[in-house]
Amino acid sequence: MKRLDLIRDERGMTLVELVVATTAGVVVMTGIVLTMIVTMRETNRVSSHVEANQNARITMTKIINQLHSACVAPQIAPVQEGSSGTLLSFLHQSGSTVAPTPVLSKISLTGTTLSQSDYPVSGGAAPKWIFATTPSSTVQLMTGVSAISASLPIFRYFAYSNGQISATPLATPLGTNSTTAVQVNVAFQMSPLNDVSGDANAETEIQNAALLRLTPPAYNSASANLPCQ
């Protein structure tokens, strides 16, 4: 092909066509990038919710299982004085021993961290055990914990009234009324460990309860229906 023919050749793209094609390519790439960003954000949000839900359930299961092992001996109240909405102090033990030696556990909320400290028996005998003043172990159960609302503390304690669980929780911190606490309600919400700013439903709420009885209650007003009976 001669040089003059090359100059006259109309094959290829004009400047206008090149600008239009470039603009279309930029629009398509922008759409792809935005789609990837949204997808990654939603994936992170969902995985954060799942992680928070799993951690909350694991912690709740551990607390309730220990409460189900709280009746170490008949008619010995497991919930201790000083228990409050953010502190659960109770006796518990598991195993096949007929008369197990209990552990005093204190589950407390400090800031947004829920921790458990265990105190072994250092002397005395049932039911007047003496517990060590220094915990043998302290473990962090989870972080990002808070009460579901101001009117719903993490720990609530209930007694029987006329053969039924009272609708009104015991006043806290517990004093001598701890000997009547037959049910412990646990409720909290947990935030995901990852930052999920702008996600109004990021927290996972979970509630459960443990009944501290060995036999069904007596349905008459004269019966005390105390724990571990």
| pLDDT of 13 higher than 90 | no
Note the pLDDT tens digit of each residue in 28-69.
888 887 777 776 666 666 666 777 888 899 999 999 999 999
Whether the model pTM is above 0.85: no
What pLDDT was estimated at residue 15? 75
When pLDDT is averaged across residues 161-180 and rounded to a whole number, the result is 94
Note whether residue 57 is domain-resident: yes
Instruction: State the pLDDT confidence band at 220, using cuts at 50, 70 and 90.
Output: confident
What average pLDDT does range 184-211 have in this prediction? 82
Residue 204 lies in a domain: yes
Residue 118 within any structural domain of the chain: yes
**229 domain residue, yes or no:** no
Whether pLDDT at 130 is above 80 = yes
Whether residue 187 is predicted with pLDDT greater than 90 in this model: the reply is yes
Average pLDDT, the chain: 86
pLDDT mean over 174-182: 97
Residue 221, Cα to own-chain centre: how many angstroms? 36
Query: Residue 142 domain-assigned?
Result: yes
pLDDT of 9 higher than 80: no
Beta strands in the chain (DSSP E): 87-92, 103-110, 113-119, 121-125, 128-131, 137-143, 145-146, 155-158, 160-161, 164-165, 183-190, 204-211
Question: What pLDDT score was predicted for residue 43?
Answer: 63
Does a structural domain hold residue 58?
A: yes
Answer whether residue 8 is part of any domain: no
Worst-scoring range by mean pLDDT, 10-24, 25-39, 175-189? 10-24
The structural domain count of the chain equals 1
- Express each pLDDT in 108-122 by its tens digit: 999 999 999 999 999
Q: Which DSSP string corresponds to 129-179?
A: EEE-SS-SEEEEEEESEE-SBTTB-SEEEE-EETTEE-SSPPPSS-SGGGG
Q: In the predicted model, what is the mean pLDDT of residues 6-15?
A: 62
* Structural domain containing residue 112: 35-211
pLDDT of residue 4: 56
Residue 2 lies in a domain: no
